[in-house]
């Protein structure tokens, strides 16, 4: 029976990537009924969102009286699962995730280590539905489910921003994801992951005199134990990037991300460590004019997955300082 559970979870726990949310959005958990966890990080998805930023990854808002407010809507769809060697898993899998998140950032004029100090947070709302099949002694078992509501809130207790002449911008900080989203180990889909995650990050943006931009953000996820399953997901490496040309108020180019689990999972069903990876690339466009909101749109196609889903990701975000 344990072998059957693990086989099913190879097709289900790798089922989706919560690459969906603004500056920080919740991840979605895929639990296989009463079977122990298996394949990749416990819910088979990046614990904290990826595909959040593109151009301007190294630039934080300026210090203002009321701070900066942002909103991000995203849509993720996947119908392909890949195993540990990159082969597609045939189990009639399909997943759709819609996310709407509100973000707030407040930068001060307080200096620390030569940079400006700030803080922020993100409040995500998740709508998810999906289906897949699991092998059993009596034949394939079809499983479907849906969930919606508050996801795991993310707090940034501190972040620092540096501007280095002529056109280099750098930021760094710590993101903490709290288990505020709904979770049940018996549910096929959950809006929360039921554990804490601590994610230090560094971002950088360089703009040449001719207006060509290179941006990136790198982060690591350090996960605590899920008390409902006694499972601990390994350390995750996340990198987002963008390259493009500024043309008046527009920035046009390519963007994407790379995700790689760099340490093994531990706990019931962790097997050989269940490491996963996925990459994504696609067009991105930003619009910014002083006195108007910053608007960004990107669309990505995932590829190169291992123990992970491959799908499509579309995100629209807007933000403005007051």
Where in 135-196 does DSSP place strands (E)? 141-150, 154-164, 168-177
Residue-level pLDDT at 43: 58
Position 269 confidence tier, pLDDT thresholds 50, 70, 90 = confident
Position 31 confidence tier, pLDDT thresholds 50, 70, 90 = very low
pLDDT average, residue stretch 199-212 = 97
Percent of the chain with pLDDT over 70: 86
Backbone angles phi, psi at 258, to 5 degrees: -130, 135
Q: What is the pTM of this model?
A: 0.84
Least Cα distance to 10 among 33, 39, 31 occurs for 39
Which domain, by its residues, includes 242? Answer: 2-321
> Is the pLDDT assigned to residue 191 strictly greater than 50?
yes
- Could you give the number of structural domains in the chain? 1
Place of tokens 């300082």: 321
CATH code of 291's domain: 2.40.160.40
> Is the pLDDT assigned to residue 54 strictly greater than 70?
yes
Cβ–Cβ < 8 Å for 317, 22: yes
């Amino acid at each position: 029976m344990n072998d059957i559970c693990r086989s099913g979870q190879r097709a289900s726990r790798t089922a989706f990537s919560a690459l969906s949310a603004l500056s920080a959005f919740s991840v979605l958990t895929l639990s296989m009924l009463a079977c122990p966890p298996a394949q990749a990080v416990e819910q088979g998805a990046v614990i904290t969102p990826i595909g959040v930023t593109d151009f301007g990854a190294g630039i934080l808002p300026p210090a203002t009286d009321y701070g900066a407010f942002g909103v991000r809507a995203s849509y993720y769809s996947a119908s392909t699962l890949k195993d540990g060697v990159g082969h597609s898993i045939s189990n009639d899998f399909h997943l759709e995730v819609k996310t709407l998140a509100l973000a707030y950032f407040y930068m001060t004029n307080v200096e620390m280590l030569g940079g400006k100090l700030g803080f922020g947070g993100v409040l995500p709302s998740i709508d998810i539905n999906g289906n897949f099949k699991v092998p059993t002694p009596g034949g394939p078992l079809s499983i479907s489910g849906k969930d919606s509501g508050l996801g795991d809130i993310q707090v940034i207790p501190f972040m620092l921003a540096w501007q280095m002449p002529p056109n280099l911008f750098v930021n760094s900080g710590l993101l903490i994801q709290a288990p505020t989203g709904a979770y049940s180990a018996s549910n096929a889909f959950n809006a929360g992951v039921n554990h804490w995650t601590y994610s230090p990050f560094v971002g950088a943006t360089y703009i040449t005199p001719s207006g060509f931009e290179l941006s990136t953000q790198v982060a690591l996820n350090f996960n605590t134990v899920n008390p409902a399953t006694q499972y601990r997901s390994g350390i995750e490496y996340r990198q987002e990037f963008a390259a493009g040309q500024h043309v008046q108020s527009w920035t046009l180019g390519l963007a994407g991300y790379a995700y790689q689990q760099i340490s093994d999972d531990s706990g019931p069903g962790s097997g050989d460590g269940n490491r996963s990876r996925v990459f994504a690339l696609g067009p991105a466009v930003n619009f910014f004019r002083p006195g108007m909101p910053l608007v960004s749109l990107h669309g990505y196609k995932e590829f190169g997955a291992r123990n992970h889903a491959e799908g499509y990701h579309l995100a629209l975000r807007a933000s403005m300082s007051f």
